[in-house]
């Protein structure tokens, strides 16, 4: 049994991971966040509100912690100050290892909304430049497979988001000439279980790829057509996307949990950036993550993409 701190513990993915950790009944879990806890402590689970800029207090909170799992929302973490402070406090408190708020793809150059993830990765490299002082891994599960079931919610907490595979409306957008690019898709449930199992491993890889299903874009379309019938596929050009031009007949739906109803204009602009970025990054292979944790956990049975989507779309109009 070890003590695990979950930072940003009120977030959707964090809550999925906390549940998976609790199921193991192996560890003491400390959930830390800026806000005051709104729930009562439970067996093996304790809550603590923190000011990330109060280093002395944060170090005290982290003393005795073996592993820190960060789910800090970088979109509201100005200059990644909170996550950097968490890294510094982890080192000062003697934490063995750390997982930053990653949980996506490999290359993020075309995803400006994830620029903070690159900065945090560089910061971790910097603090370890003269030798390992804090072991860390970048959990990279590719795209959440649950998103391909949108708008159906298939995870307990994680909100379904739209992608360029819109199986509800039987359509998709792909980059012309890149149909054979590989992408990895992993269910939220499998991600949470793998992270819970990873805590028990003796050592973590720096790049912690998690491959639920590794398929080409063409294969995803074929699976979608077997389940949902014929799809209308828009093909856009790489060079248009590279200059910020999206020439498609549709775009992502106007919804996102980080935006309120009165932020329609801001949301529309952001979703265009998201769509262009995910299309470009998919063409470049950024979502083709490694199988590092598959190899470390050879007995783990991942949810296969076609079976998952068949179940998710069964009986849907």
For 102, 112, 263, 265, the CA distances from 259, given in Å and listed in that order, are 21, 17, 6, 10
| pLDDT tens readout for residues 169-181 | 999 999 999 999 9
Residue spans of the domains in the chain: they are: 3-136, 143-186+213-288+301-313
Q: What are phi and psi of 292, to 5 degrees?
A: -55, -50
Categorize the per-residue pLDDT at 160 as very low, low, confident or very high, splitting at 50, 70 and 90. Answer: very high
pLDDT at position 12 over 70: yes
pLDDT at position 41 over 80: no
Q: So what's the pLDDT on residue 75?
A: 84
Average pLDDT of the segment spanning 240-262: 83
**CA dihedral of residues 19, 23, 24, 29 (deg, nearest 10):** 40
pLDDT at position 269 over 70: yes
Q: Look at residues 99, 115, 147, 139 and name the one whose alpha carbon lies nearest to residue 257.
A: 147
pLDDT at position 260 over 70: no
| pLDDT tens readout for residues 174-205 | 999 999 999 999 999 999 999 999 999 999 99
Helix H or strand E segment including 45:
strand 45-49
CATH for 3-136 (3.40.50.10070, 3.50.50.60, 2.40.33.20, 3.40.50.720): 3.40.50.720
**CA dihedral of residues 295, 301, 307, 313 (deg, nearest 10):** -100
Strand pairing of 138-140 and 45-49? Answer: unpaired
pLDDT at position 305 over 80: yes
The percent of residues in the chain predicted with pLDDT above 90, rounded, is 89
In SS3 terms, the chain reads as CCEEEEECCCCHHHHHHHHHHHHHCCCEEEEEECCCCCCCCECCEEEEECCCCCHHHHHHHHCCCCEEEECCCHHHCHHHHHHHHHHHHHHHHCCCEEECCCCCCCCCCCCHHHHHHHHHHHHHHHHCCCCCCCEECEEECCEEHHHHHCCCCCCCCCCCCCCCEECCCCEEEEECCCCCCEEEEECHHHHHHHHHHHCCCCCCCCEEECCCEEEEHHHHHHHHHHHHCCCEEEEECHHHHHCCCCCCCCCCCCCCCCCCCCCHHHHHHHHHHHHHHHHHHHHCCCCCCCCHHHHHCCCCCCCCHHHHHHHHHCCCC
Residue 31 tokens, joined: 């959930």
Average pLDDT of the segment spanning 125-133: 96
CA angle, 271 as apex, 259 and 169 as ends, to 5°? 105
Average pLDDT of the segment spanning 273-278: 97
Q: So what's the pLDDT on residue 204?
A: 98
Residue 293 tokens, joined: 């944790």
pTM: 0.95
Q: So what's the pLDDT on residue 39?
A: 62
Question: What DSSP assignment string belongs to 186-232?
Answer: E-HHHHHHHHHHHTTSS---SEEE--SEEEEHHHHHHHHHHHH---E
The percent of residues in the chain predicted with pLDDT above 70, rounded, is 95
Q: So what's the pLDDT on residue 35?
A: 79
Cα separation, 76 vs 292, whole angstroms: 30
Categorize the per-residue pLDDT at 78 as very low, low, confident or very high, splitting at 50, 70 and 90. Answer: very high
Q: So what's the pLDDT on residue 300?
A: 98
| pLDDT tens readout for residues 217-246 | 999 999 999 999 999 999 999 999 999 999
| Architecture of the domain delimited by 143-186+213-288+301-313 | Alpha-Beta Complex (3.90)
pLDDT at position 51 over 70: yes
């Amino acid at each position: 049994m070890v003590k695990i701190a979950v930072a940003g513990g009120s977030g959707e993915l964090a809550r999925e991971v906390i549940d998976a950790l609790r199921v193991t009944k192996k560890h003491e879990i400390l959930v830390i966040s800026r806000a005051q806890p709104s729930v009562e402590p439970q067996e093996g689970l304790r809550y603590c509100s923190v000011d990330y800029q109060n280093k002395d207090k944060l170090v005290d909170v982290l003393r005795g912690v073996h592993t820190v799992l960060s789910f800090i929302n970088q979109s509201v973490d100005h200059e990644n100050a909170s996550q950097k402070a968490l890294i510094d406090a982890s080192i000062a408190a003697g934490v063995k290892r750390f997982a930053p708020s990653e949980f996506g793809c490999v290359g993020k150059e075309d995803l400006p909304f994830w620029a903070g993830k690159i900065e945090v990765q560089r910061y971790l490299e910097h603090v370890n430049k003269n030798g390992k002082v804090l072991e860390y891994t970048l959990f990279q599960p590719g795209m959440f497979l649950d998103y391909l079931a949108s708008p159906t919610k298939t995870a307990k907490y994680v909100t379904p988001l739209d992608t360029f595979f819109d199986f509800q409306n039987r359509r998709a957008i792909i980059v012309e000439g890149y149909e054979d690019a590989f992408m990895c898709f992993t269910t939220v449930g499998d991600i949470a279980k793998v992270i819970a199992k990873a805590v028990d491993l003796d050592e973590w890889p720096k790049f912690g790829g998690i491959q639920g299903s590794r398929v080409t874009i063409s294969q995803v379309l074929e699976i979608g057509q077997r389940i949902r019938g014929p799809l209308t596929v828009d093909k856009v050009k790489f060079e248009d996307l590279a200059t910020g031009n999206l020439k498609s007949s549709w775009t992502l739906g106007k919804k996102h949990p980080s935006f309120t109803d009165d932020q329609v204009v801001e949301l529309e602009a952001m979703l265009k950036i998201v769509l262009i970025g995910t299309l470009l990054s998919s063409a470049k292979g950024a979502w083709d993550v490694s199988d590092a944790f598959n190899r470390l956990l050879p007995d783990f049975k991942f949810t296969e993409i076609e079976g998952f989507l068949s179940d998710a779309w069964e009986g849907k109009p």
